[in-house]
A and B are shown apart, each in its own frame.
Chain A
Amino acid sequence: MSGGKSASRRSGRDKKTAQKVAVVGKAERQQAATARLDRLEDDQDAAEILGQQSDDEFRLEDSDEGPQPGEGRKRKKGAKRPGAKRKTRGQLAEQRGPKSFATMLDEADLEDAPEDAQNYLTAAAAPSVYPAHRWCSVCGFAAPYKCVRCGSQCCSRKCFGVHSETRCLKFTM
C-alpha cells in the first residue's frame, strides 16, 4: 500500500520538473510559424482598423443604393419568417464587412477541383529541394544552435541569453 503511495508522489514530482523544461511540440511550432506568416501579410495596424469597422464615420456608405444583386433574394427569405429575431450567421458576417481572401478561398472549394486544371492553389510554387538558411533570431547571423524549448535559432551564448529573456516561448511578433 505504502509503495503505491510513494509511486504516485514521485510521478507528481516528475510532472513538475517536466513543466519547467516544457518543450513546444512540432505541431505548435508549425502553428506559430504559420500565424507569424499571416501576421506579416496583414495590413498596417490591422487590429486597430478592425476595431474601427464598427465606427460609423469611417464606413463608406453602402446601403442606400437600392438592393444589390443577390440581396433581394435574402430579403424575401427573411420576410417568410418574420418571427425570427436571432441574426443568422450570414447576416452577422455581412455586418462585419467584406470577406477576407482566406474566407473566399475556403468557399471556392479549390481542393475538390479536377486535378489537371490550374487554379490558385496549384499555381503556388512547390517547396524548395534545398534546406533553408538558419539565421539567429536575435542578431540575424548564421545560427548553428536551436533553443530546445521553442526551436528558435541562436548563434551564440550571448544571443541565447537575450532570446531566453525576451522571446522564448512567447512567439510574439
Chain B
Amino acid sequence: MADQFVVLDNGGSTCKIGLSLQHLPVSVFPNGAGKVKGERQPLVGDQLLACGDMSTVNIRRPIDRGFVVNGDLEREIWGRAFRSVLRVDPAQSSLLLTEAPFALPAVADLTAQLVFEEFGFQSCLKLPAANLALRAHGRDQPGIAANRAACGLVVDAGFSFTHVVPVFDGHAISSGIKRINIGGKLLTNYLKELVSYRSMNMMEETYLMEHVKEQACFVSTDLKADLLTSRPSRGPHRREYVLPDGVNSTTGFLRVPAEARAGASRQQASSEQVLTMNNERFLVPEVLFSPGDLGLQQAGLAETILQAVEGVHEHLHPLLLSNILLTGGTAACPGFAQRLLADLRPFVSDEYEVGVYMPEDPITCAHRGGAMLAASPAFAQAAMTRQMYEEEGAARLQSMTADD
C-alpha cells in the first residue's frame, strides 16, 4: 500500500500539486520552463515564481492544445515538483493525475510512460479535471438536489480550451462531452493583438498581457447596452493600464482615466506609458460566448452546453441543467456566471431549473476534489498499479479514462 497520495492537476498554464492526506495548501506554479536573458540554466516550474521580473522570460510549455506533447520538459517540471515542492519519493506514492478528455493514444501513452517508467509510481489514476471539480462542489453545497446524485454539468474554462462535461454518479458521460477550442491563452493573444493595433505594440509582452487581461477584462451581461455606453470616447468602460517602467514597479496597474487627470502631476503623467482600453475589455471574453466573431466555426458556450445535454439521456437533462459548475481560470472572469445564465435561460424550457454555480476557488477546485478522491477507498479500486502497467501496458489506462 502506498504511503502517500500525490494529486496533480496538470493544467496548460499551471500545475496544481499537493498531497491528499495532509491538508497542505496546494502549490500552484507555471507548467513550463523559461530562460532569463543572460542566464544559462532555464528556470523550471516553481522556480519561475521566484523570478522577480517575468516579463523578460520566455516560457516554453510542455502542453500544446491542452495535451502533454513534450515529455522531456514535463519530466523536468514534475521531477522538480515531486523532489523540491512536495519532497516525496514517487516509488512510495500513488498519483492522481488529471488529463483532458479524449486524449490521443500517443498522449496517453506519453503520460503513462512518464508516471510509471520515469518516476515509478506505485499506482496511478487519470481522470478529467471535471469529475474531480464536481466532487469538491458536492461537498461545498450538499443542499443541491443534483449533488446528492453526484450529477452535474461541469464547464471547465481553462487555458487551452473549454470543456463542457456532463457528470453522473461521479463519472463523466463521454457521449456528452463537448469542447470549444477557446481558452485563456487564445483570449490573451487576442487582447494582445487588439491592443497592439489600437494602442501600443505589446506583441512581445505575453506575460504582461496576461496580467492586463486578468485585471481589465470582464464578461458583459448586456452586450448591446455595453457597446452603446462605450461608444463615446469617454465612456464608463474606458480604462488605462499603466505599464511597469522597470524601475519603480515591475507590475502595472489599472485605473480610470479621469483619476489621472485630477491626481497625478503633469510631469509624472508624461513619463509613464499607458495602454488605453475601451470595448476590448468585454469584447475579448465575448469570443467564448460567440466564437464565430473570430471566424471559429463553433457554437458559443450556452449553445455548447445544450449540445452536451442533448448527448445524454433525456432523464438527466433537468438534473444537469440545475447544477452547472464553472471551473478553470477563464471562468473567474467577472460576470461569467451571470452572462452564462442569461444566455442559457431562453434556450431551456421554463419547467426546468437552471442553476449556475461558481466555487470560491475555480482554479484549485479540481485539485481539492482530487485530494478527496485520493483519500477514499474508491481510488485504490480504480487506480492502475505499476504491476498492471508492466503486464498490460498503457492500453488499460486509456480504456479506463474513456469509461469514466
- List A residues at the B interface (Cβ < 8 Å): 33-34, 36-37, 39-45, 48-49, 52, 57-58, 60, 62, 69, 97-102, 104-105, 107-108, 110, 118-120, 123-133, 135, 138-142, 166-167, 173
Contact = CB atoms under 8 A, between A and B. Distances in A.
A125 B279 contact: no
B138 to A, nearest CB: 24
Interface in B241-285: 278-280, 283
Contacts of B203: 173
A119 B101 CA distance: 9
B323 to A, nearest CB: 20
Interface of B: 33, 35, 40, 42, 58-61, 64-67, 69-73, 76, 101-107, 113, 117, 164, 174-175, 177-181, 185-186, 189-190, 193-194, 196-198, 203-204, 206-207, 227, 231, 278-280, 283, 286, 290-300, 303-304, 307, 402
B178 A135 contact: no
B206 A40 contact: no
Given A108-B106, A140-B194, A99 B69 contact: yes
B102 A118 contact: yes
Given A44-B206, A69-B113, A98-B72, 14 more contacts: A33-B295, A34-B295, A37-B294, A40-B294, A45-B204, A49-B58, A69-B117, A101-B64, A101-B67, A104-B107, A107-B106, A126-B299, A138-B197, A173-B193
Closest CB pairs A-B (n = 9): A132-B292, A44-B206, A33-B295, A98-B70, A128-B299, A101-B65, A101-B64, A125-B304, A120-B102
Most buried by B among A43, A52, A100: A43
B298 A126 contact: yes
Contacts of B189: 39-42
Nearest to B113: A69
A100 B64 contact: yes
A125 B42 contact: no
Contacts of B283: 135, 140
A172 B106 CA distance: 34
Contacts of A48: 58
Interface centre among B60, B107, B207, B280 (most CB of A within 10 A): B60
Interface core residue of B193, B296, B298, B402 (most chain A CB under 10 Å) = B296
A53 to B, nearest CB: 9
Contacts of B185: 40-41, 43
A23 B321 CA distance: 47
A167 B185 CA distance: 24
Contacts of A57: 40
A108 B106 CA distance: 8
Contacts of B293: 132-133, 135
B104 A108 contact: yes
B78 to A, nearest CB: 13
A133 B64 CA distance: 29
B299 A125 contact: yes
Contacts of A69: 113, 117
16 contacts: A45-B206, A57-B40, A60-B73, A60-B76, A100-B69, A108-B105, A120-B102, A120-B103, A124-B298, A125-B307, A128-B291, A133-B293, A135-B293, A139-B198, A140-B280, A167-B197
B196 A140 contact: no
A11 B244 CA distance: 59
Contacts of A119: 102
B231 A141 contact: yes
A42 B103 CA distance: 20
Contacts of B71: 98
A167 B196 CA distance: 13
B295 A98 contact: no
A38 to B, nearest CB: 10
B274 to A, nearest CB: 18
A104 to B, nearest CB: 5
Nearest to B61: A43
Contacts of A39: 189
Contacts of B194: 140
A154 to B, nearest CB: 14
Contacts of A125: 164, 178-180, 298-299, 303-304, 307
A146 to B, nearest CB: 13
